[in-house]
Chains A and B, each alone.
Chain A
């Protein structure tokens, strides 16, 4: 079986600072895979590198068997990869509707009305705000918009960077539920970064632990949850 995404010996840099060290990682079709690690370990960089910014300076990135290491970002998107980036990055001067259209447009999709209805079912708040400019939304609403915009392209691989950031507990739970549902129903493949390691490992089929840009551990969600060193570093000391 060809992996949906495979990183082979990938290294990435910001200037002279090495952010990813010889990373090997695989995401198989229909899998939810999560990256666990401290702030600054390189989780977001890994996602950004898949999208070509920063570029991998060493190693190979394969999407469904094709080498995308040197492909432009918009061509990577056209292959059915979508990202909901850290920090939302929605288009502030465009309306909610236009932001959502951009998601579909960038991937060349034409079935927008049906896609829009799906997004509004997932985030009713976006329907209420449809004509409002993205920049005037509250932080949490912008997060919903960023996720919905990514889903508008009906990606085969969804890169989600801290989807629950700034969201009310109820909405965060709905999003995790929606990811699981999309995964089970449509086989959506997901690479997920999340501060709430417990939630992420519960949701994911497999996880990787990233320390200082290098992968130090890998396993199923249940396996990693049981590892004392994972519990000590990423799970304990919070959340009652």
Chain B
């Protein structure tokens, strides 16, 4: 579904991503892991159009068989046409807008089209009213799924951190993406919130959306990923199922380290 071939990204003399190729299959959760500074977020930025790759191609084929060359598309078109949505390492909600408004902003393009340069909207014509109703229903659906329906009219900035992170995922989902890219969604979450995140991501996958995930919490990565790509210094050092990657000596040396008894004990 997503196919990255020979991707290279240079910043001046620094090669952040070096001839990287991997595939992410439709309907799967693909995790990208690796040491800090390995180039994971840079790969995300290339896929979502924040950077234009120095070399290489990124192609996305949706379930209708339409192929998009993401490396040549503008960022906003990657979101609106190819339907790739993302979140960021740090929370980037509109803190001064309500929870509901944050989800409506995500549907701005659809609503603007329906509003006919705002004329239909001002006149309150049927087409716009229907689109607006759909937008609200969609937002309500996601608020319900992330357990924030009762906070719909609160300022997004006033939510606890864990709820803000869930809201970001909901906002991304409101564009109805075929591929959702999450950059460290579990960072700063406590074990209980992490558990809820795992469940949410699994239901998103069950609905048919593919996920690309950067995460350092192995309790998330190893539990819900179908496929893991491991980067180090911009290059791929391993690629496989969680069990394969966990046993890979190069991955243990560069990233995981020896022994996970601590965490096993905690879960016991």
Contacts and interface: CB of A to CB of B under 8 A. Distances in A.
Interface stretch (A68-76, A77-85, A105-113, A229-237): A229-237
Contacts of A139: 36, 41, 89-90, 184
Interface residues of A, number: 39
B264 A240 contact: yes
Q: Output the residue of B33, B40, B192 with the most chain A CB within 10 A.
A: B192
Given A169-B255, A169-B256, A141 B37 contact: yes
Interface in A173-227: 173, 195-199, 202
Interface string A128-171: 01001000111111011000000000000000001001111111
A173 B11 CA distance: 30
Contacts of B41: 138-139
A171 B256 CA distance: 9
A121 interface: no
B187 interface: yes
Interface residues of B, number: 40
Given A38-B160, A138-B41, A199 B262 contact: yes
Contacts of A144: 36
A167 B194 contact: no
B248 interface: no
A160 B249 CA distance: 32
Q: Output the residue of A162, A170, A198 with the most chain B CB within 10 A.
A: A170
Given A170-B257, A173-B257, A198-B262, A39 B36 contact: no
Nearest to B39: A138
B34 A195 contact: no
B64 interface: no
B161 interface: yes
Interface of A: 38-40, 87, 125, 129, 132, 136-141, 143-144, 162, 165-173, 195-199, 202, 233-240
B191 A238 contact: yes
Contact of B35 (A170, A236, A238): A170
Nearest to B263: A239
Nearest to B194: A238
Contacts of B191: 196-197, 234-239
Q: Output the residue of A132, A144, A238 with the most chain B CB within 10 A.
A: A238
Nearest to A199: B262
Given A139-B89, A235-B266, A238-B191, A125 B162 contact: no
A137 B11 CA distance: 12
B153 interface: no
Contacts of B184: 139, 166
Contacts of B11: 136
